[in-house]
A and B are shown apart, each in its own frame.
Chain A
Amino acid sequence: MLKAVILIGGPQKGTRFRPLSFEVPKPLFPVAGVPMLQHHIEACVKVPNMKEILIIGFYQPNEELNRFLFNSQQEFKIPIRYLQEYAALGTGGGIYHFRDQILSGNPEAFFVMNADVCSAFPLAEMLIFQKEHGEPNSFVILGTTANRKQSLNYGCLVENENTNEVLHYVEKPSTFVSDIINCGIYLFNPEIFQHIGTVFQKNQQDMLLYPYDGEEPTNGWHRAEVIRLEQDIFTALAGQGKLYVYKTLSFWSQIKSAGSAIYASRLYLNQYHTTHPERLASNKQGGPNISGNVYIHPTASIDPTATLGPNVSIGTGVTIGAGVRVRESIILHGANLQDHCCVLNSIVGWESTIGKWARVEGTPSDPNPNDPFAKIDSETLFRDGKLTPSITILGCNVTIPSEVIVLNSIVLPHKDLNRSFKNQIIL
């Protein structure tokens, strides 16, 4: 049997996703109409012999998460459990802490994946690759190719080109090492816990030798149980004949910032053509004008004179008035877009209202379309003291009056604007 573990982190993580992560845990933010995590779960349940999905993180149990888990178990007919870490234990520490849960029922292998990635999840291919490359009990990292400059923002690995064995692993190097990067999706077998255990024992000994004196601000990173898969495990395993890379040509992106959620939506909407054609809206008599890939929740009310797409996701209970235009945007549940308004490259928060003829527009942060290996830039909010032009984000319950423009701005929740804003964060 097989299992899967999804690492969702906690509320201290995902701050680049604010103000949207105030309202809903980032892993539940809708991408292409469904919670980010659901894409992982849908990929897992397609793998034959998958018996359980474990979600590990340090969010307090909350209603949103409980409801999502309950609904997903119903829908996908598979046990899904949330295991809460007592503190942020890192990507290795979390699975180590819950190793008995993971190993119960004796799975011969299990997947571990980060929640904040968007991927075609070639899990079946990883399994085949693991069996075929000839080294039993080895571990597989999903890798993809980046361009030289952007590779520095990721975990980089060097492979033996004949065997695909990982010879060297380094996390976010300062100079170029390799253009093969870690996708944050792994295939392990129970033996991985021996390697994590070794690091744990070493940490434990170090702490006895150099006890924590309470003076250095270590943010809790003094615990022996805090272990990072990337720096602490992969770096040591590289070159030991244990770690292999399966390189995928299918789509992949991180979802760190809100801007990357729009890009990730585009990738998933495009995948729907093969995986979920029923989720894509089409032009119908009496329906809105659809251009490109669009997801519309069945409870949304859309005027037939509106034009939507490409890359638009419309959430539950959204109302869209006459002559409205939406392109490259995510409209979250309960939002109200009034007649003739125009929304481009933006995320419109839950229960927000956009007035007639208003224009809400952002600047896309898409990867360079002319570079096949380009990834989305992990943009900084400010550059040279100026807000970098980015997508426009309206927090929840924001009201935009008629006829104004909100350009390249971030509006924090529960704000009634009374005029136009450009290139600003509105508190």
Chain B
Amino acid sequence: MKALILVGGYGTRLRPLTLSVPKPLVEFCNKPILLHQVEALVKAGVNHVVLAVSYMSELLEREMRVQEQRLGILISLSHEKEPLGTAGPLALARDLLNVDNEPFFVLNSDVICDFPFKDLLQFHQNHGKEGTIVVTRVEEPSKYGVVVYESDSGRIQRFVEKPQVFVSNKINAGMYIFNPSVLSRIQLRPTSIEKEIFPIMAEEGQLYTMELQGFWMDIGQPKDFLTGMCMYLQSLRLHAPERLHTGPGFLGNVLVDPSAQIGENCSIGPNVTIGAGVVIEDGVRIKRCTVLKGSRVRSHSWLESCIVGWSSSVGQWVRMENVTVLGEDVIVNDELYLNGANVLPHKSINESVPEPRIIM
């Protein structure tokens, strides 16, 4: 089986992290975002993953060669010279996807959930039509495009963009499975699959939905990245509690790489991910944060709702909060206060940032 992942461009929404590392390789809960998806696809029987990318990164290519070996699958990069939207990349990869008569998966690269690919394949084969999209329930449907469908069969009736009157609380979760016949509907030009392809398929009765169980999050920007982390760690608590770190000084769901060092009298958690080789010195308080590989947090600091970029150093008695994101190799000097700071890579900070802003 095959799958196409819409990786897209520079991942500007996840800057400053994506200034150093292509978005698919940014670690989410100590694993590159892309591998969460690829590993789930492999479990569902996928043996060829096509990455639709709009810029080429040597780092990404090299890493994919490594993963091909590790997972025993084929990973292709399909490079669009101009942005092709959400449908165009399928046309570009037509020759890779249309080799047999098997259905294939398509997914947005920013989505994190308990990936339901096996169930999706099963459901798709049961109804026998051209496509199935996964939907998820949201609290405020007025902010999204919602999907209206027959509840017993799952057959989609229509899509409504930002409904002002309640019609449905289910939205497109960015995961699909299609029969190869879908490819004949798509031209090689910039096309939106949601706006130009799905409505026609729905009208023809060819598009079904399957509702996602459990959590779902688009982690394309830092604020949602942290929210998604909380959801993912709670899911680990339910399904693989042995992977979470427990003991004195740890509160709630905390994921710690075995190579990380944690000092004495710390209070870590709830909802913290600590990456490989990270050093947390004594008396540090961290909650709702991701600390990426190779970073150091010095003693008595206090961090909430932050992402600490690779190989960064946070000084003593620093307070960081409100979705402060440090890029790679940032130094935050002792005793500073960072409130919602977005710090570009290789920067040394000597002054507090009391109100949210970007530090070039």
Contact = CB atoms under 8 A, between A and B. Distances in A.
Interface of A: 305, 322-325, 327, 339-340, 342, 344, 356-357, 359, 361, 403, 405, 407, 422
Contacts of A324: 300
Size band of the interface chain B makes with A: 10 to 19
B302 interface: yes
23 contacts: A322-B265, A322-B283, A323-B265, A325-B316, A325-B335, A327-B335, A340-B283, A340-B300, A340-B302, A342-B300, A342-B317, A342-B319, A356-B285, A357-B267, A357-B285, A357-B302, A359-B302, A359-B317, A361-B337, A403-B285, A403-B302, A405-B321, A405-B337
A359 B316 contact: no
Contacts of B299: 323
User: Of residues B285, B317, B321, which shows the largest number of chain A Cβ atoms within 10 Å of its Cβ?
Assistant: B317
- Interchain residue pairs A-B with the least CB separation, the first 6: A323-B283, A342-B317, A323-B300, A325-B317, A340-B300, A357-B302
Q: Give chain B's interface secondary structure class.
A: loop
A347 to B, nearest CB: 18
B319 A405 contact: yes
A96 B330 CA distance: 66
Contact of A325 (B282, B285, B300, B354): B300
Contacts of A359: 302, 317, 319, 337
Nearest to A342: B317
Contacts of A407: 337, 354
Contacts of A323: 265, 282-283, 299-300
Given A323-B265, A339-B265, A422 B354 contact: yes
User: Of residues B304, B319, B321, which shows the largest number of chain A Cβ atoms within 10 Å of its Cβ?
Assistant: B319
Contacts, number: 46
A185 to B, nearest CB: 37
A325 B315 CA distance: 13
Given A325-B300, A359-B337, A403-B302, 16 more contacts: A305-B283, A322-B265, A322-B283, A323-B282, A323-B283, A324-B300, A327-B335, A340-B285, A340-B300, A340-B317, A344-B335, A359-B317, A361-B337, A403-B285, A403-B304, A405-B321
Contacts of A305: 283
Contacts of A325: 300, 316-317, 335
Contacts of A327: 335
B272 to A, nearest CB: 14
Contacts of A344: 335
Contacts of B316: 325
A357 B321 CA distance: 13
Nearest to B282: A323
A323 B354 CA distance: 23
B121 to A, nearest CB: 47
Nearest to B355: A422
Interface string B121-139: 0000000000000000000
Contacts of A322: 265, 283
Nearest to B284: A340
A359 B334 CA distance: 13
B143 to A, nearest CB: 28
Contacts of B300: 323-325, 340, 342, 357
Contacts of A361: 337
A327 B300 CA distance: 15
B251 to A, nearest CB: 12
Interface in B291-331: 299-300, 302, 304, 316-317, 319, 321
Contacts of B282: 323
A400 to B, nearest CB: 13
A342 B285 contact: no
A14 to B, nearest CB: 30
Nearest to A359: B319
Contacts of B354: 407, 422
A137 B265 CA distance: 69
A323 B319 CA distance: 14
A339 B300 CA distance: 9
Interface in B263-287: 265, 267, 282-283, 285
